[in-house]
Amino acid sequence: MTPVLEARNLVRDYHIPGSLLKKGKTVHAVKGVSFKVEEGKTLAIVGESGCGKSTLARMVTMIDPVTAGDMLIDGTKVDIASEPLSSDMRSKVQIVFQNPYGSLNPRKKIGDILTEPLVINTKIPAGERRDRAMAMLKKVGLEEKHYTRYPHMFSGGQRQRVAIARALMLNPRLLVLDEPVSALDLSVQAQVLNLLADLQDEFHLTYVFISHDLSVVRHIADEVMVMYFGEAVEYGSRDQVFDDPQHSYTKTLFAATPRVDVDAIRARLERRKRA
C-alpha cells in the first residue's frame, strides 16, 4: 500500500542574518529525517523542546519548504519551493497547533472559522458550507448554538475541539497534531485524545502526532520516532520503542517519565470508554 505520507531525508536549515557586530549563522533544525505513515495509522514524534518537531510539522503541512529531501503525499512528490500547491493537495494535509488561544481568530465567530477553509478552497455554496460546519461541530462534541459564538467564550478544551473541526472541514487525509493537548488540563487532555481516536476511526485519518509527553504517546501511537537535535535517533513500532529502546537518549527520556502517569491516564481513558 502507498503510504499517505513518506518523508525521505528531509532537511531544514534556518539562516539567521548577521548584524554589524554579529556574524550570521545557520541553524540545522532538521538534519535528514525519513519516515512513512500508512493510512489510518498514527506516527508519534517525540523529543525535547528545540529538537525540530515543529519544523518537521511545518514541512509536512507544506507551510514551510524543505531545504533538501523529498516529501510524498499519497505517492505524489510535493515541493512548494518549485511549484504552487494545488488546492486538492493543500486540502489533504491539515494541522492543529498546540495553542488553541492563539490559533483561532478572536474576531471571528466559530461558524466563520469553520467555513473559511471551504470559502478559500472550494466552490461549495453558502448554505451547504453552513450545514457542513454545523455537522462538524457535532462531530467534535460541540453544539449548533456554538456556531455564532466567539472563541473567547470557550474553554481551552472546547477551543481545541474547534481547531480540530476546522482542520477536518476539507476532508483531509492527514492531520498533523503539534502538541495538541499539551496546553490542556490532564482531564481535558484525555477527552480530546479520545475524540481524536474516534475521529480517526470514523474518517480513516492518518495522524502525525507530535508530543514531548511519553504517557500520551504510549496511548495513541502505532509507531514512534524519537528526535534528538534534528535527527531521528529511534524509529519503530510503539512496542519496540517502549519495550526495547536502542538509543541511549531514548532510554534517558523514558527513565525521566514517571510510569504512574501512564497507568493513571490509561485507567481514566478506559473508565471513560466504559461509561
Ligand X SMILES: Nc1ncnc2c1ncn2[C@@H]1O[C@H](COP(=O)(O)OP(=O)(O)O)[C@@H](O)[C@H]1O
**Binding region for ligand X (CB under 6 A):** 14, 16, 27, 29, 47, 49-55
CB of 56 to ligand X, least distance (A): 7
Question: How far are the Cα atoms of 167, 223, 239, 273 from residue 44, in angstroms, in the given order?
Answer: 18, 6, 12, 22
Q: How many residues bind Mg ion (CB under 5 A)?
A: 2
Q: Binds 14, which of Mg ion, ligand X, none (CB < 5 to 8 A, cut-off by type)? A: ligand X
Q: Binds 29, which of Mg ion, ligand X, none (CB < 5 to 8 A, cut-off by type)? A: ligand X
Of the pair 54, 103, the CB lying nearest Mg ion is at: 54
Q: Binds 16, which of Mg ion, ligand X, none (CB < 5 to 8 A, cut-off by type)? A: ligand X
Of the pair 55, 94, the CB lying nearest ligand X is at: 55
CB of 45 to ligand X, least distance (A): 9
CB of 208 to ligand X, least distance (A): 13
Q: Binds 27, which of Mg ion, ligand X, none (CB < 5 to 8 A, cut-off by type)? A: ligand X
Q: Binds 72, which of ligand X, Mg ion, none (CB < 5 to 8 A, cut-off by type)? A: none
Burial of 190 from C-beta contacts in 10 A (0-12 / 13-18 / 19+): buried
Please list the residues that pair with 210 across neighbouring strands: 45, 178
Of the pair 53, 90, the CB lying nearest Mg ion is at: 53
Interface with Mg ion in residues 30-69 (CB under 5 A): 53-54
Residues making contact with Mg ion (CB under 5 A): 53-54
